[in-house]
Structure 1
């Protein structure tokens, strides 16, 4: 697929059902959303839109991203699922990010941001994951974290403990998430847990389109 064809596909995948009386041309809104989720800061995204004759402030682009309610596709049936959690910082607070990735495609299947890490949050994340996708035949790849082992047992999922190999796919996404949350602090300053969780789902949507 050519780069231009991929760009068109990415733009078309962004739906603007939230638009009512928005004066901005829809293509410019979609382009702004795509550029920010693909890696540009809000400031740089606004600068590019201005060069196209569309003058908007950073908070406007930020609101477009969240109102678009972008999420990874549902009903995927991967052979394997790499599952892990990591800690990220928002403002002065630490949160736990749970993530599931298809190691064959590197696509993000599901994310969930939690204020703490324990057996209940792991089970909650795993329940949401299996409700979204067809995972009856999938093998879950987990590390040595007991809470994820218990979550797999609780939901009768096949799992294998591994620290390398196909689990590297989820580590790759974690590295990019941490880079983005550290580099673009204007996206996360004073962000509430729900806002950050929504942004991570939007990021996952864009990641799946661009990798």
Structure 2
């Protein structure tokens, strides 16, 4: 679980307008969503809800998380952006997680899950990132990835090779994501790629709330 995970503030940010017919009190729904995204497995989250007299299936909490459609905030103007890609196991297949992080705040700016890694996908990732945030004046920190370097060049962005240093922020986030998706098989077990992509955006929302 996040060492500094906080519930205050984050609960107010979770909108539940989609749950008009849900019998569970909205505060407990928000609590269940936040507990799961903050590090509890679905099984442990259900156990916490039972303390409050609410019995729900793990699949119910899973659906709450995805229907909430949580997204990291937009319109940030970071001075530096650490960008990286890593392999995520989804059932028996491998997907590539692209992530952009503000190394000064450790906030996740943008994520996407792709079936492959190449220059076209990297270019699209940078295009989406530029639509969401004011990053044209930022220095992009990348490792030896040729596709990321090519995408920076095509978007006329200032990039710098950095193996460690400020890029450690994105590596820490990748380690946490991999810990979550391997430790709790009920996150990605039998999940479709779109569902996993939604979960990762929800994770980014919760990660940023811990700052």
Question: Once the two structures are superposed, what CA deviation does each residue of 1:96-150 show, in whole Å capped at 9, x if it has no partner?
Answer: 0000000000000000000001111111111100100001211100011110011
CA RMSD of aligned residues (A): 0.7
Matches for 1:17-166 after TM superposition, within 5 Å: 17-166=17-166
Q: 1:92 & 1:52 partners in 2: Cα distance? A: 37
Where 1:84 maps in the other structure, the secondary structure is strand
Where 1:53 maps in the other structure, the secondary structure is coil
Instruction: Say whether residues 1:206 and 2:187 are aligned partners.
Output: no
TM-score norm. by structure 1 comes to 0.96
Instruction: Say whether residues 1:195 and 2:198 are aligned partners.
Output: no
Q: Which runs of 5+ in 1 are unaligned?
A: 1-5
Cα shift at 1:210: 1.3
Aligned counterpart, 1:3: none
Cα shift at 1:25: 0.3
Where 1:8 maps in the other structure, the secondary structure is coil
Say if 2:7 and 2:34, in contact at 8 Å, map to a contact too: no
Aligned counterpart, 2:16: 16
Cα shift at 1:7: 2.5
Q: 1:158 & 1:18 partners in 2: Cα distance? A: 41
Aligned counterpart, 1:185: 185
Where 2:9 maps in the other structure, the secondary structure is helix
Say if 2:46 and 2:61, in contact at 8 Å, map to a contact too: yes
Where 1:28 maps in the other structure, the secondary structure is helix
Where 1:140 maps in the other structure, the secondary structure is strand
Cα shift at 1:18: 1.1
Where 1:97 maps in the other structure, the secondary structure is strand
Q: 1:81 & 1:72 partners in 2: Cα distance? A: 15
Runs of 4+ in structure 1 off by over 6 angstroms are none
Aligned counterpart, 2:3: none
Say if 2:112 and 2:197, in contact at 8 Å, map to a contact too: yes
Question: Once the two structures are superposed, what CA deviation does each residue of 1:158-181 show, in whole Å capped at 9, x if it has no partner?
Answer: 111110100000000000000000
Q: Which runs of 5+ in 2 are unaligned?
A: 1-5
Of 141-150 and 11-20, the range deviating more from structure 2: 11-20
TM-score norm. by structure 2 comes to 0.96
Q: How many residues are aligned here?
A: 206
